[in-house]
Chain A
Amino acid sequence: MKRVAAFLMVLLGSIFMLLLLSTLGTVSFSLPEVLMILRDRPDTVRANLYMNLRLPRVLIAFFIGAALAVSGEGLQLTLKNPLAVPYIIGISAGASFGAVFSLFLREVARVSISLELLALVFAVLAAFLTYYISRRGGTASVTSLILSGVIISFLFNAAVTFLVVFAWRNIITLHFWSLGSLSATSWDDVLKFMPFAVVQFIAFTILRRKMIIMAAGEEHAITVGLNPERIKASVFFLVALTASIAVSIAGLIGFVGLMIPHIVRMIFGVDSRAGLLANSLVGGAFLMVCDTVARTLFQPTELPIGAITALIGAPVFIYLLRRKEVVGSG
């Protein structure tokens, strides 16, 4: 019962927060005004500002936060590794390479290909390489998956360093991109990303029981009738695709995929039926808060959201970790 109550609180809290946080910004709105805009859709400058800039931004923050947290939860359980994050499989390094490659092309070859597109292509490529390298004799062991993710990341990062020499004039663009930002997002991004987030969520809901079985070891999973390779591959590629698109839209946003699943587990337990939904709600709400801080703290200057997620998230996580220890030993 306590968990149901906690879950309802999180659900209502997220919706309320979505509305509340959307009022804050360089142009601020009141809550009744927001409700009026959503209901009547008036054709005013303020209403347009809200509907076309503020609302999609808050929504994309929610969906990206939700998808990263769900991705992290899926990977951590399936790979039986509490440190697994969507970026561990090479995605972040691949995306960085794509971004710097786009700058390099512009600088050296005078060819202009969208930074977001190349980031997406190379993020997916890096994830595929990671999976391909780790596979031997039809199986990709958890250790070799993580190791090959680390190696692919090193490779792409080294390539980034080389290219930076040529694209040094744009280094600041690259730097800001790598810290993550939702400042240039639009409805297009929301519509592009939402289907992937939703498909991943549904697939993980179906796979969740199996993921928890996987968390008790692959040999164990086989002895209760699972096919670990199939589950690992499904989870891996769903995460690779979703996280790559998230990175191409918003840059590298760390922390969410690592810590939110841990925080949710501390509150709800690993085997809670609401675990996945709680992850998406807490992850979504968390990124909305971080983005609001990023755009309002020193407005009109925006802060990189990747730094905010760590600054807000780390202390919360440390607090929960300490409290849990106290509860556990008492």
Chain B
Amino acid sequence: MGKAVDIGNLRFSYGNGDVLNGIDLSVERGEVIGVLGQNGSGKSTMLKIVAGIFKDYRGSVNVFGKEIVSMSNRQIARLIAYLPQFFTPSFDLKVKTIVSFGRNPFIGLMRGLTRDDIEAVNRSMKMADVHQFSERLYSTLSGGERQRSVIAKALAQEGEILLMDEFSAHLDPGHSQKVTKIALELARDKHLTVIAAFHDVNQAVGMSDRLLFMKEGKVVALGRAEEIVTEELMETVYDASTRITENPINKKPLVVFS
């Protein structure tokens, strides 16, 4: 059985200087990878390449044995769902409509949503607990409710891989924790492979199987939190001094910024 995602010597540039400088990462099916690094370290760029948004990369990005650049957007969207940091439609849409966007990769040009599509939309809304406001306008929802609607949209894609780009960074700590937990629990239930960029180190430590630390477009460390999270690594990645203790709740390393 091939890897879910296999990234080899990935390089990318927006035009002036490389943002990614040779990233290597193999992700097993069903694994949750937490990606950490300062702003501008290349986390988002890497996720956007895997999501098929930027296709002019160098190196290779294999998803279940197929190179991303050789797949159509539609084929990619059937496999991979992407949760952005902000989802801001320019016009006010109903939650139901937004969730139904997730069915787009399965809809033919001349046809609308089939009964199966509508069932998938309803199922996803129930799982993300947004079905009670399916008829409401997105703009009338709270931050947490909005992100849950976007989770429902991603679930409606019924893919194999879930990418999360600092998905809950703009929410307060309570809601951020809750919403990320919902997304990851649903992903584990459905045996999805997850690559998630995190804003909060301890959240990432608590929720991921392995962590990937990035700096200036390179991998600084990759492995289980217990094995790699050290004060030196935090100094390298964040240019900040920290103390590492044991988290009393999950017994994993707890990073305290001093």
Interface residues of A (CB under 8 A from B): 76-77, 80-82, 137, 206, 209-210, 212-213, 215-217, 219-220, 222-227, 265, 269-271
Contact = CB atoms under 8 A, between A and B. Distances in A.
Nearest to B56: A137
Interface residues of B, number: 36
B91 A223 contact: no
Contacts of B90: 80-82, 215-217
B48 interface: yes
A223 B93 contact: no
Contact of B110 (A206, A213, A223): A206
Contacts of B57: none
Nearest to B77: A225
A82 B92 CA distance: 11
B88 interface: yes
Q: Which of A215, A225, A227 has the most CB of B within 10 A?
A: A225
Nearest to B55: A222
A73 B94 CA distance: 18
Contacts, number: 83
Given A80-B90, A216-B101, 16 more contacts: A77-B91, A82-B90, A137-B56, A212-B93, A215-B89, A216-B88, A220-B84, A222-B73, A223-B52, A223-B82, A224-B105, A224-B157, A225-B78, A225-B104, A269-B94, A271-B93
A86 to B, nearest CB: 18
Given A223-B82, A224-B157, A225-B77, A213 B53 contact: no
B87 interface: yes
Q: Which 3 A-B pairs have the closest CB atoms?
A: A225-B77, A225-B105, A225-B74
Contacts of A265: 91
A82 B112 contact: no
B87 A220 contact: yes
A223 B53 CA distance: 7
Contacts of B110: 206
A76 B110 CA distance: 22
Contacts of A223: 51-53, 76-77, 80-82
A33 B80 CA distance: 64
Contacts of B77: 222-225
Contacts of B80: 223
A213 B107 CA distance: 13
Interface in B114-164: 153, 157
Nearest to A80: B90
B109 interface: yes
Nearest to A216: B89
B102 interface: yes
A224 B78 CA distance: 8
Q: Which of A137, A206, A222 has the most CB of B within 10 A?
A: A222
Given A216-B89, A223-B52, A206 B109 contact: yes
B97 interface: yes
B87 A216 contact: yes
B222 interface: no
A270 B73 contact: no
B207 interface: no
Given A206-B109, A220-B84, A225 B73 contact: yes
Contacts of B56: 137
Nearest to A81: B90
B177 to A, nearest CB: 25
Contacts of A217: 87-90
A271 B107 contact: no
Interface string B61-78: 000000000001111111
A76 B77 CA distance: 25
B27 interface: no
B102 A216 contact: no
11 contacts: A137-B56, A209-B104, A212-B91, A213-B101, A217-B87, A219-B84, A225-B75, A225-B76, A225-B78, A226-B73, A271-B97
B221 interface: no
B186 interface: no
Interface in B19-35: none
B233 interface: no
Nearest to B107: A209
A93 B110 CA distance: 36
